[in-house]
Amino acid sequence: MKRLIVAGAAALCSLAAQSATSWNLSAEQPDANYLTQNVRQFADEVKAATKGELEFKVQSNSVLLKRPEVKRGVQQGIVPIGEFLMSALGNEDPMFEIDSVPFLANSFDATEKLWKAAREQIAQRLDKQGIVLVYGAPWPPQGIYTKTPVATVADFKGARFRAYSASTSRMVTLMGAVPTTIQTAEVPQAFSTGVIDMMITSPATGVDTQAWDYVKHYYDVQAFIPQAIVIANKRALMALPAEQRQAVMDAGRKAEARGWQMGRELTAKLTQTLAGKGIAVHPVPPAMAPELNKIGQTMAEEWLKKAGPDGAKVLEAYRR
């Protein structure tokens, strides 16, 4: 009888193991990046809430899919869930790059307000493509890294300037530089081989890629605060039991709130790390500030023309 009980318990354990669901989650940044740490905590909370019946195996540093591949990969079910930079979809729909219009919202408070104004529009667009927006979290503000000092926009003329989205490419062009698309992991080599001379990116990416090895100056222009988003395949998500779906979305809400908190807390620390490693950290040069603001006004007008009535509604809600 005892043997039968033991055998039965073993069979039940085996059945439970077989019924557990495991998804690969493609995360864009290295493990040390706070966005990846937030993704991992999100995965841990889903696993705990479902008592191990749903597990997300986080694959960091874009080892599964590169940034341009994530959205299509999730849409096609290559991976059920993934995290990437939202503005990478800017060529597809201007609403996806609202976070990256320079100087439209250049503080965490302003950007969070803008995100809340645009979130429903973004979720609806993804939903029509079979994708669920699980959560969004901000990068630190974007600054400019250079090998040599700059004082005016004229100093960017002809420089090979790393861009990572349609919006940053347009900004770099208006600055008179030559936009060059380079993936984050390839940035150090691109600088060392002369493929790029400058870049606009966050203090987090600067620390992740050890920018002190290849640039000398960082200008804290706080051009904008881009959004990373976690998306899931709608069909795969709907195939989960209702309580597991709820656990995913509940954990997503927590991760979104935590992401904004982490971004605010860590930006100053990351910038201090750059300075501590020998990079000269500068405010916006006085002569450059009005020039950059003019570029921002131009891009905001261009964005609004592309985004149409939906874009106007979002901006009205944001500015209200």
pLDDT at 183: 86
| CB-count burial class (<10 Å; 0-12, 13-18, 19+) for 204 | buried
pLDDT at 152: 97
pLDDT at 19: 65
d(CA 279, CA 45): 37
SS (H, E, C) 111-142: HHHHHHHHHHHHHHHHHCCCEEEEEEEECCCC
DSSP state of 229: E
Mean pLDDT over 272-282 rounds to 98
What is the topology classification, in CATH, of domain 20-89+106-139+226-273? D-Maltodextrin-Binding Protein; domain 2 (3.40.190)
Statement: residue 3 has pLDDT above 60: no
Give residue 16's pLDDT band: very low, low, confident or very high (50, 70, 90).
very low
User: Which residues does residue 83 pair with via DSSP β-bridges, in sequence order?
Assistant: 230
Give residue 249's pLDDT band: very low, low, confident or very high (50, 70, 90).
very high
Statement: residue 64 has pLDDT above 50: yes
Give the CATH number of domain 143-223+278-319: 3.40.190.170
Per the CB < 8 A criterion, the answer to whether 283 and 141 are in contact is no
pLDDT at 174: 97
Q: Which of 27, 21, 22 is nearest to 255 (CA)?
A: 27
pLDDT at 149: 97
Statement: residue 15 has pLDDT above 70: no
pLDDT tens digits, one per residue of 189-244:
999 999 999 999 999 999 999 999 999 999 999 999 999 999 999 999 999 999 99
Q: Which of 171, 134, 132 is nearest to 297 (CA)?
A: 171
Element (H, E) at 290: helix 289-319
Q: Which of 157, 134, 171 is nearest to 247 (CA)?
A: 134
| Mean pLDDT, the chain, whole residue set | 93
pLDDT at 320: 86
pLDDT at 319: 92
pLDDT at 220: 96
Q: Which of 228, 240, 253, 259 is nearest to 56 (CA)?
A: 240
d(CA 217, CA 141): 16
For the chain, residues classed under CATH 3.40.190.170 are 20-89+106-139+226-273, 143-223+278-319
pLDDT tens digits, one per residue of 72-120:
999 999 999 999 999 999 989 999 999 999 999 989 999 999 999 999 9
* Cα Rg of the chain (Å, integer): 22
pLDDT at 304: 96
